[in-house]
Structure 1
């Protein structure tokens, strides 16, 4: 406070000093003028007075110049001191504000000290809990790791057992497949045997052995009827007209995978044919069925003079001719017109 009072006391300004100095110089000038007016008129005195006045005026002029310099220096010093005073006041204001701020913060910290202590306590408790939880998690991870290792060992044992079981299963599968193949071969042999017996039975039913009386009558009729037949057929007879209904289709390959049904009404062509059965027997069966149906179709024609059974060679020749489309169309046309002519004659 003393420093502030010291700085705040007003010092004499340079303007007041200058005014006082000017007033003094004016007073001296007035005195000199009066002295000059009322002085003695003697020249020596006048000269001395003038010289003294000149000296005095020069002295006054020098003092005036010196006072002006002092006045300028004092003014400059005053300006500097005023600036310093302003800076000091600003510094004092800043320091006071800082002191107030520090005081406020100190009071605030003093008020928050219990809360900070509580926060420190909570922080320490949290750290303790974190360590406990971390230890618990580590224990759980160790237990889980041990369980995983045990599970991996079990999985490895199960995989080995499965591999062994797979090998055993493969061996058993191979054994079973071999047994099944042998059983299938045996079953196929038995099926072939059954088919052969079945076809032999069918052949025996289709071709019964004639008795001696029937053989003798057949031989006598054939011997008696041979001459007139040869006499009548001197040239190739005219072809008969085609039947009204088409002939049954001739199978090109044996039929398989058809269940065997013991039925007298089933045709021979619908019976299953075994691959092991001989081809001549099959051809004879088909030939027999074909000739029977052909006899039933052609027996209604009155234009036929003589009817005899065809041989397998005739059947093969007809089959080759049927495969030729041009021959079949020409023959059908010729047979159709010849049949029409015969019907018109009748």
Structure 2
């Protein structure tokens, strides 16, 4: 049996999706790496009440270590332990000690240990360092063995290489069919259009334009809004606010509404090639997806056949108005077939192995 990699992963949270949009992505990638023989220890801070809103126990496919966000003593111990790993990953947006971690993980770099920066919000990171030439992370970019990104395509790759990155490879969102799949419809989530997303400054205007505008144009239709932070927002009467929707309810939501809406954040929409985790979750459940237009959508799902694309709230409303149950089911089934054949986390984990130089024999060639 081949020997897998020992991977130390510093990220926001593996066990809680609360104010943590990267949770599904982390879980999918890490579980797929485990299935391929690798062992991951995930280090996360006790911050933002995530541990109080956990939506899963410690998994059997990863070791979860929670460290205090009050002082660095526990984090220091985690870094010392991580020094014995084959690969050390610092993800963007940990939310606590980010600048410190970006520098400290590089101290663990040696011939037997690759150090990776895994950017789960590359457009935001790149815009930040381009605006501030004195941003400490800017000078660290060339020192990492690899930059992996949640998405962004060639625009993100070119931007990182221009900043001196040795290598930049997008590892796109995908589907974990063991967690996101068709289930029976749930009356709690019955409606014509559902949108799930936390209220964030660079998303709110697009939610207003694509979701709330469509709701205003279709007063007789039922709209569902899920996610944290929307409780004090004035909403049209035909919009039901669900609050935070736990991961275990995502399948039911995706299988109960006639259509599910994807809305990219401003930075993701500008760079393109960054389909959200929600797209693959919904496709895996056989949902009919409507998305705001973004460059590169056709690389993942075929517009008009596997996904519906809208350039405005008016176009979202028109899709909802025309969509019947038969067409919704047809599009959803086509999307599910496509993602199962091309866009699972098993596909992404294979790409990660390729980047890290891991060979099935268990040997590893260091990729400079």
With the length of structure 2 as denominator, give the TM-score of the two structures.
0.16
Structure with greater strand percent: 2
Question: Whose Rg is larger?
Answer: 1
Structure with greater helix percent: 1
With the length of structure 1 as denominator, give the TM-score of the two structures.
0.17
